[in-house]
Amino acid sequence: MAEADRKQKGTTRRQFLSTTLKTACSVSLMGIGLGFYAQRANALPPLAIRPPGALPEEDFLSACIRCGLCVRDCPYDILFLGQLGDDIPTGSPYFIARTGPCEMCEDIPCVAACPTNALDHSLTDINDARMGLAVVIDQENCIAFQGLRCEVCFNVCPIRGKAITLDYQHNPRSGKHALFIPVVHSEACTGCGLCEKACILEKAAIKVLPIDIAKGELGHHYRFGWKEKEKAGKALVTPDVKHQYNLPEGVRYDLQGKGLIIEKKAEAPHAPPQDSPFSSNPLDTLNRKKGDD
């Protein structure tokens, strides 16, 4: 009787242990699977852009509870939630600049709606948002590089003249015209995507990319001499010896671009009534010795 009792107890304990172990093992397996799935599923495709104020992606994914209130409160209805089967983490908000860019509302209703600070409430000026960074990514197809006047991205930019400027360059094809090259400045660009939406090409030549993809990073050991010099207030290496030119009196040479400078002699009222002791072509003066010989 006692033995049978013990036997029965033993079986239940064994059963209990084996069920527990089985469950623990299968749940661990599921957990590992879910972990790997999470790693894959949590990657955001580069063209999907988070709403303004979104925390860095990893923090964003732990903070966003996928409620969709930002989607609801967006007055332009540009935001979507990632659906099952999309490449976007399930239920997390995003927009696609080419089809619906952020209109940069001053009151930022999407951020105000967020209950978990996944869209950072410390963002109060929409111009401080950094959703991404516009990049003129295809310079072969952007017609500005062909010398055509377009400037649509420059003109639609909500921070016109700061986030995108036009860089005038010589047009070597015609030899006499200018290229109006759009240049994006990361210190002002919010990544709203209005430029990408407005780009007149079939496929936009200017695209908003995640900042970490769009931006390079200087080697950390790198120092720019002129900046260090400015910081230190003096040259950090042996200063250059000032170059001596063999020039006639009243003539200086500026290495930095002005070239030859001819100073008028103010204290010579009795000098012969001529503008300069030299020919109008400075080369004549420079080559004078040769000619005199």
Partner 1 sequence: MANRPEDVGKEAVQKKGWFGAHKWLILRRISQLGILAAFGAGPWLGLWLVKGNLSYSLTLETLPLTDPYVLLQALVGGVVPETIALVGVAIVLVFYSLVGGRVYCSWVCPVNMVTDAASWLRRKLGIRGTSHASRSTRFWILGATFILSAITGSIIWELVNPVTITVRALLFGVGLAWIFILAIFLFDLLVARDGWCGHYCPVGAFYSLLSTWAPLRVTAANREACDDCMDCFNVCPEPQVIKPALKGAPKGIGPVILANQCTNCGRCIDVCAVDVFRFGTRFGNDPLIGAKVPDQIQTTGS
Q: Which residues contact 16 (CB under 8 A, 6 or more apart)?
A: none
The yes or no reply on residue 38 touching partner 1 (CB under 8 A) is: yes
Rounded CA separation 188/221 (Å) = 26
Q: Residue 191 Cβ, how far from partner 1 at the closest point, in Å? A: 23
The two three-digit tokens of residue 39, written as one number: 């790693």
Choose which of 17, 24, 43, 201 interacts with partner 1 (CB under 8 A). Answer: 24
Cα 275 from chain centroid?
54
When asked if residue 63 is in the footprint of partner 1 (CB under 8 A), the reply is yes
Among the listed ranges 68-76, 148-156, 172-180, 269-277, the one in contact with partner 1 (CB under 8 A) is 68-76
Which stretch in 67-75, 160-168, 227-235, 258-266 sits in contact with partner 1 by CB under 8 A? 67-75
β strands within 105-151, DSSP E? 133-136
Compute how many residues bind partner 1; rule: CB under 8 A: 46
User: What's the rounded Cα separation, in Å, for the pair 224 and 119?
Assistant: 36
Contact of 88 with 48, CB cutoff 8 Å: yes
Establish if 62 lies at the interface with partner 1 (CB under 8 A).
yes
Among 11, 12, 13, 30, binds partner 1 (CB under 8 A): 30
* Local structure of 33: helix, strand or coil: helix
Interacting residues with partner 1 (CB under 8 A): 19, 22-24, 26-28, 30-31, 34-35, 37-39, 41-42, 58-59, 61-69, 71-73, 80-81, 83-86, 89-91, 113-118, 121
